[in-house]
Chains A and B, each alone.
Chain A
Amino acid sequence: MAEARKEIEIKEVLSDEIVKTVTFKIKKFDPEKDSKPHYTEYQVPVYRGMTVLDGLLYVKEDVDGTINFRYSCRMGICGSCGMFINGKPRMACMTQILELNSDVIEIAPLPNYDNIRDLVPDSTPLFEKHKKIKPYLIREDTKEQENPIGEYYQTPEEHEYYSQFSFCIKCGLCYAACPSVASDPEYLGPQALTQAYRYSVDTRDEGFLERVMVVDDPHGCWRCHYAGVCSEVCPKGVDPAKAIQLLKGLILKYRLGLKKKRRGAGVIPAHPRPNIKKAPKRTVPQES
């Protein structure tokens, strides 16, 4: 009985049956032809489980091939399809049309970015600012990094310090939602600052001082007014607002001489790994 019911539920979810038709109101802009952006409306038949990205692909394939938008993985991993959907920055591939509860879906490119074309934002400032905070492990002894002989030792507890903040997929939704970015284009923004914190508390890293030089600035972490929208729109639950407040605390501790200086994690041989069993033998013959 339960199995039959589950089968019906699955069929309902995966059904291609058209539930309703919604209007996609898409902001279009061609810098070679248009002096300013304008909206164009398309009718999109919607089935259960259909995302906004599916709707856009329907428009692109069956109605208007000239429409431009950026996407790649279709499953909330690559961070390419960030758009301003019904007044909120969202990932098009993670937004169910029926969950929006609206017959009209307004789609525009992400705010706080220049617009390249139609729904494609220019993400250059996001990546430039990300680059500024040196988003990689910095070691005082670069010899091991260049010629590794093992792995940096880190306990699961130490990994927890930054684990949540490492889920960032650089979709830029936080940057689009941030009111401080809107008023101060030089502000590093929630994405970069979160990554500055993520690397600064990584026990394998020794580059805290280099990052402090970048983020302890009038346009660094002190520009955050803690509106918290970055955390609200983040599709991966990273909570940049929290990371920025923690970063502020970390810098203040350092400036007041309360932060303990620590050495980066030591190196352990990659093999043999303690407490990890050997992989089982192959069950399928290896292709030659």
Chain B
Amino acid sequence: MKESILWLFQIVTAVLIFFLLGLHISAQHLGGFGSFPDLAEFTYKALMFVALYHGLFGLRSILLEVGMGRGAEKFVSWILFLGGLIFFIYYGIVAA
């Protein structure tokens, strides 16, 4: 995927984290939204997804700045992508 689109997702997820975190805290910990009992679970999964993307893309940017060569950059990108995917599938779907 083009770097511009990945960067755009980084910005979009930053905004989403802001709203989802507020919703999640309200639904899960402050007992709000009583008429929407599934909201806590939805915000938990959505927040995990966007936070994982945002955090791992940030980590990738830091690692790529070290200067490791194009081959190693692709390897690092795939490792982070697969790591994030496995983390989300396990903690967001299987164990949730």
The answer to whether B64 and A217 have CB atoms under 8 Å apart is no
Which residue of B4, B64, B65, B66 is within 8 Å of A252 (Cβ)?
A: B4
Known contacts A218-B73, A252-B8, A185 near B67 by CB under 8 Å: yes
Query: Chain A residues near B65 (CB, 8 Å)?
Result: 180, 183-184, 187, 223
Query: Chain B residues near A248 (CB, 8 Å)?
Result: 4, 7
Min CB–CB distance B52 → chain A (angstroms): 20
B29 part of interface (Cβ distance < 8 Å): no
Which residue of A184, A185, A216, A256 is within 8 Å of B64 (Cβ)?
A: A184
Query: Chain B residues near A184 (CB, 8 Å)?
Result: 64-67
Dominant SS among interface residues on chain A: loop
Give the interface residue-count category, chain A.
Answer: 10 to 19
Query: Chain A residues near B67 (CB, 8 Å)?
Result: 183-186
The answer to whether A220 and B64 have CB atoms under 8 Å apart is no
The answer to whether B8 and A218 have CB atoms under 8 Å apart is no
Taking CB atoms and an 8 Å cut-off, the chain B residues in 9-28 that contact chain A are none
Taking CB atoms and an 8 Å cut-off, the chain A residues in 156-205 that contact chain B are 180, 183-187
Dominant SS among interface residues on chain B: helix
Query: Chain B residues near A185 (CB, 8 Å)?
Result: 67
A251 part of interface (Cβ distance < 8 Å): yes
Closest B residue to A183 by CB, please name it: B65
- Cα distance A218–B67 when bound, in Å? 11
Min CB–CB distance A255 → chain B (angstroms): 5
A226 part of interface (Cβ distance < 8 Å): no
The answer to whether B4 and A218 have CB atoms under 8 Å apart is no
- Cα distance A264–B7 when bound, in Å? 29
Min CB–CB distance A64 → chain B (angstroms): 37
B5 part of interface (Cβ distance < 8 Å): yes
Min CB–CB distance B17 → chain A (angstroms): 19
What are the interface flags for A53-87 relative to B under an 8 Å C-beta threshold, 1 for contact and 0 otherwise?
00000000000000000000000000000000000
Most B CB within 10 A of own CB, among A180, A183, A218, A255 = A218
The answer to whether B3 and A220 have CB atoms under 8 Å apart is yes
- Cα distance A187–B4 when bound, in Å? 15
- Cα distance A187–B64 when bound, in Å? 10
Between-chain CB contacts (< 8 Å), 22 pairs: A180-B65, A183-B65, A183-B66, A183-B67, A184-B65, A185-B67, A186-B67, A187-B65, A216-B3, A216-B4, A218-B3, A218-B64, A219-B64, A220-B3, A222-B3, A222-B4, A222-B7, A223-B61, A223-B65, A248-B4, A255-B4, A256-B8
- Residues of chain A touching chain B, judged by Cβ–Cβ distance below 8 Å, are 180, 183-187, 216-220, 222-223, 248, 251-252, 255-256
- Residues of chain B touching chain A, judged by Cβ–Cβ distance below 8 Å, are 2-5, 7-8, 61, 64-67, 73
